[in-house]
Chains A and B, each alone.
Chain A
Amino acid sequence: MLYFTRPSPSAPRPAPFPWPLAPAVIWMLVFFFIPLLLVLAISFASRGIYGGVRWAFTLSNYALIVDPLYLRIYLRSFLLAVATTGLCLVLGFPWAYFIARCPVRWQGVWLLLVIIPFWTNFLVRTYAWMFILRTEGLMNTILMQIGLIESPIEILYTNAAILIGLVYGYLPFMVLPLYAALARLDLSLIEAAQDLYAGGWSVLQRVILPLTRPGIVAGCLLVFIPSVGAFITPDLLGGARTMMVGNLIQHEYLVIRDWPLGSAISFALMALVLAGTLAYIRSGGTLQGLEERR
Chain B
Amino acid sequence: MDEPSVDIRDLVKYHGATPAVDHCSLTVRKGEFFSLLGPSGSGKTSTLRLVAGFEQPDHGEIVIEGRSMNGVPPNRRPVNLVFQNYALFPHLTVFGNIAFGLEMRGVSKVEIASRVQAALEMVKLADRRDRLPAELSGGEQQRVALVRALVNRPAVVLLDEPLGALDQQLRLDMQVELKAIQVDVGLTFLYVTHHQEEALTMSDRVAVMHRGRILQVGSPQEIYESPASLFVAQFIGLSNSVPGRVIEVHGTQCTLRAPDLPDLHAPRSANVREGSRATLVLRPERLHLAQERRLNGFENAIPARIEKAVYNGSEMQYWARLPDQEQWKVRVPNGGVDQKRFQAGDAVCLQWSVMDGVTLAE
Evaluate contact between A11 and B12: CB separation under 8 angstroms: no
Of A2-10, A79-87, A135-143, A171-179, the segment with at least 4 beta carbons within 8 Å of chain B is A2-10
Evaluate contact between A4 and B12: CB separation under 8 angstroms: yes
Evaluate contact between A10 and B59: CB separation under 8 angstroms: no
Evaluate contact between A13 and B59: CB separation under 8 angstroms: no
* Proximity bits, B8-41, A CB within 8 Å = 1, else 0: 0010111111110001000000000000000000
In the docked arrangement, what's the CA distance between A1 and B23, Å? 10
B14, B18, B23: the one contacting A8 at CB < 8 Å is B14
Interface residues of A in 138-182 (CB under 8 A from B): none
Evaluate contact between A11 and B10: CB separation under 8 angstroms: no
Residues in B with CB closer than 8 Å to A4 are 12, 58-59
- Nearest chain B CB to A1's CB is how many angstroms away? 7
For the complex, is B56 an interface residue (Cβ under 8 Å from A)?
yes
- Nearest chain B CB to A257's CB is how many angstroms away? 56
Evaluate contact between B58 and A1: CB separation under 8 angstroms: no
In the docked arrangement, what's the CA distance between A13 and B55, Å? 8
Evaluate contact between B56 and A11: CB separation under 8 angstroms: yes
Evaluate contact between A7 and B56: CB separation under 8 angstroms: no
Total interface residues in chain A, CB < 8 Å: 10
Evaluate contact between A1 and B10: CB separation under 8 angstroms: yes
* Proximity bits, A1-25, B CB within 8 Å = 1, else 0: 1101001111111000000000000
Say yes or no: A7-B10 contact (C-beta < 8 A), given A2-B59, A13-B56: no
Residues in A with CB closer than 8 Å to B23 are 1
- Nearest chain B CB to A40's CB is how many angstroms away? 42
Evaluate contact between B58 and A11: CB separation under 8 angstroms: yes
In the docked arrangement, what's the CA distance between A166 and B56, Å? 57
Evaluate contact between B56 and A9: CB separation under 8 angstroms: no
Evaluate contact between B13 and A7: CB separation under 8 angstroms: no
Evaluate contact between A7 and B14: CB separation under 8 angstroms: yes
In the docked arrangement, what's the CA distance between A273 and B12, Å? 51
- Nearest chain A CB to B276's CB is how many angstroms away? 27
Interface residues of B in 109-138 (CB under 8 A from A): none
Residue in B closest to A13 when the chains form the complex, CB atoms? B56
- Nearest chain A CB to B56's CB is how many angstroms away? 7
In the docked arrangement, what's the CA distance between A210 and B159, Å? 44
* Proximity bits, A54-79, B CB within 8 Å = 1, else 0: 00000000000000000000000000
Residues in B with CB closer than 8 Å to A13 are 56
* Proximity bits, B175-190, A CB within 8 Å = 1, else 0: 0000000000000000
Total interface residues in chain B, CB < 8 Å: 14
In the docked arrangement, what's the CA distance between A269 and B19, Å? 52
Evaluate contact between A10 and B58: CB separation under 8 angstroms: yes
* Proximity bits, B134-158, A CB within 8 Å = 1, else 0: 0000000000000000000000000
In the docked arrangement, what's the CA distance between A213 and B14, Å? 39
Evaluate contact between A10 and B10: CB separation under 8 angstroms: no
A1, A2, A9: the one contacting B14 at CB < 8 Å is A9
Evaluate contact between B19 and A10: CB separation under 8 angstroms: no
Residues in A with CB closer than 8 Å to B19 are 7
In the docked arrangement, what's the CA distance between A20 and B15, Å? 29
- Nearest chain B CB to A8's CB is how many angstroms away? 5
Residues in B with CB closer than 8 Å to A8 are 14, 58-59
Residues in B with CB closer than 8 Å to A9 are 14, 16
Say yes or no: A10-B12 contact (C-beta < 8 A), given A2-B59, A4-B59: no
- Nearest chain B CB to A5's CB is how many angstroms away? 12
Residue in B closest to A3 when the chains form the complex, CB atoms? B23
Residue in B closest to A10 when the chains form the complex, CB atoms? B14
Residues in A with CB closer than 8 Å to B56 are 11-13
Residue in B closest to A2 when the chains form the complex, CB atoms? B59
- Nearest chain B CB to A6's CB is how many angstroms away? 9
- Nearest chain A CB to B115's CB is how many angstroms away? 31
Most buried by B among A10, A11, A12, A13: A10
In the docked arrangement, what's the CA distance between A8 and B15, Å? 9
- Nearest chain A CB to B131's CB is how many angstroms away? 24
- Nearest chain A CB to B111's CB is how many angstroms away? 32
Residues in A with CB closer than 8 Å to B17 are 7
In the docked arrangement, what's the CA distance between A10 and B12, Å? 10
- Nearest chain B CB to A14's CB is how many angstroms away? 11
In the docked arrangement, what's the CA distance between A147 and B59, Å? 91
In the docked arrangement, what's the CA distance between A10 and B55, Å? 9
Residues in B with CB closer than 8 Å to A7 are 14, 16-19
Residues in A with CB closer than 8 Å to B58 are 4, 8, 10-11
- Nearest chain A CB to B81's CB is how many angstroms away? 17
Residues in B with CB closer than 8 Å to A10 are 13-16, 55, 58
- Nearest chain A CB to B128's CB is how many angstroms away? 28
In the docked arrangement, what's the CA distance between A12 and B56, Å? 7
- Nearest chain A CB to B287's CB is how many angstroms away? 42
In the docked arrangement, what's the CA distance between A2 and B61, Å? 13
Interface residues of B in 37-70 (CB under 8 A from A): 55-56, 58-59
- Nearest chain A CB to B272's CB is how many angstroms away? 28
Residues in B with CB closer than 8 Å to A11 are 56, 58
Q: A residues engaging B (CB < 8 A)?
A: 1-2, 4, 7-13
Interface CB pairs A-B, < 8 A, 26: A1-B10, A1-B23, A2-B59, A4-B12, A4-B58, A4-B59, A7-B14, A7-B16, A7-B17, A7-B18, A7-B19, A8-B14, A8-B58, A8-B59, A9-B14, A9-B16, A10-B13, A10-B14, A10-B15, A10-B16, A10-B55, A10-B58, A11-B56, A11-B58, A12-B55, A13-B56
11 further A-B contacts with Cβ under 8 Å, apart from A4-B12, A4-B59, A9-B16, are A1-B23, A2-B59, A7-B16, A7-B18, A7-B19, A8-B58, A8-B59, A9-B14, A10-B16, A10-B55, A11-B58
- 7 cross-chain pairs, A with B, having the tightest CB-CB distances, nearest first: A7-B14, A7-B17, A8-B58, A10-B14, A10-B15, A8-B14, A11-B56
